[in-house]
Amino acid sequence: MARPIPFVAQDITDHEPDQPLSWGAGIDDALAGQLHRTIEAIGIDRARELAVTSRDRLCVDAAYSVMSEEDLAAGFVHAGFALTALPHRRTDEPEWVREAVGLTLRVESGKDQKGSRVGIPYGSVARMILLYLQTEAVRTRSREVELGRSMNKWLTSMGVNNGGKGYSLVREQSRRLSLCRLTFYATSEEGMRITNGSFVRNAILPSNENDQLSLWRERVVLDEAFYDSLIEHPLPVRETAIKALASRSMAIDVYVWLAYRLWVLRKPTPIRWAALFEQFGGGFKTIKHFKAHFKEPLALALSVYPEARVEVTDTGLVLKPSPSPVPERSQVFRGHEASVARLS
């Protein structure tokens, strides 16, 4: 199996408003659906040489990590996160609300023992922690998730560096995830369905900051409501793809969205910039500003989804029927088969 691109846990944002993007061969090829064929034609070494910017090289390396994977391991996320997501950056607001057609996600900050708000989970580290918890729960069909004999083993399994700043970020996001409350509101012709609860029933990490890694909690129990909804609506994704995007939270969200939308389409479906801005534009003031920075995370998502057929136009995107990023045989695990339910 190909060695995944290592991920050092750090707060890397998907866009820096004061730094205009420079489009090189890697990004352009990814957006045109040509990157994987280019790598196959000229080889990875030559493709890396032709990458003009660090962003181009990131696309090339991400694409190659998926192309060279052999076991096609499947990870799982709640399908609701394909339409709504956590914030990309730290927010001081006590709650976070994201709306999509037929679905609303509300996340409320938890409080510590003194009543102080700990904050909303955010960024790529929170997403990686959730990916691990959800994947293990779906694979084992159990609310109880094994974290490993030590926290080191758990972090290594996610490809996260637990030293220095990475240690602090993982601890902070684990605390926020452990204490927050979340509600999914799903609207259909039959009415509104509400799933109210939290991510976990007990803390992912102990509250004592002086605890050593080897003494940290070995198991965590998912909240019953969240677990039941997850089992009803699991969305398969490629673990290698997520790891290749691990420091780019918006790219992860775009990839999960494409994995949810493309494989069920029966005809090309246009998505206008206004709709994309509504779903992914949190933190941007205008559609124009959002459009200028959306292409990079889109290119990264397409780099790790070779089967995706997406066209970028002046008015937005055209999504075309595409195979799932995870073959059906990879969705069978430990005697069970993942039934990927669509959200109403």
In terms of DSSP bridges, do strands 269-272 and 234-238 run parallel, antiparallel, or are they unpaired? unpaired
**Mean pLDDT of the chain, nearest integer:** 83
Tens of pLDDT, residues 174-221:
899 999 999 989 888 888 888 888 999 888 875 555 554 444 567 889
Tens-digit pLDDT profile for residues 17-46: 434 433 346 999 999 999 999 999 999 999
Q: Where are the beta strands (DSSP E) in the chain?
A: 74-78, 95-100, 103-108, 110-111, 117-119, 144-146, 181-188, 191-197, 219-221, 234-238, 269-272, 309-313, 316-320, 332-333, 336-337
Summarised one tens digit per residue, pLDDT across range 73-85 is: 889 999 999 988 8
Predicted confidence (pLDDT) per residue in 279-333, tens digit: 898 778 899 999 989 999 999 999 999 999 999 999 999 999 999 998 764 444 3
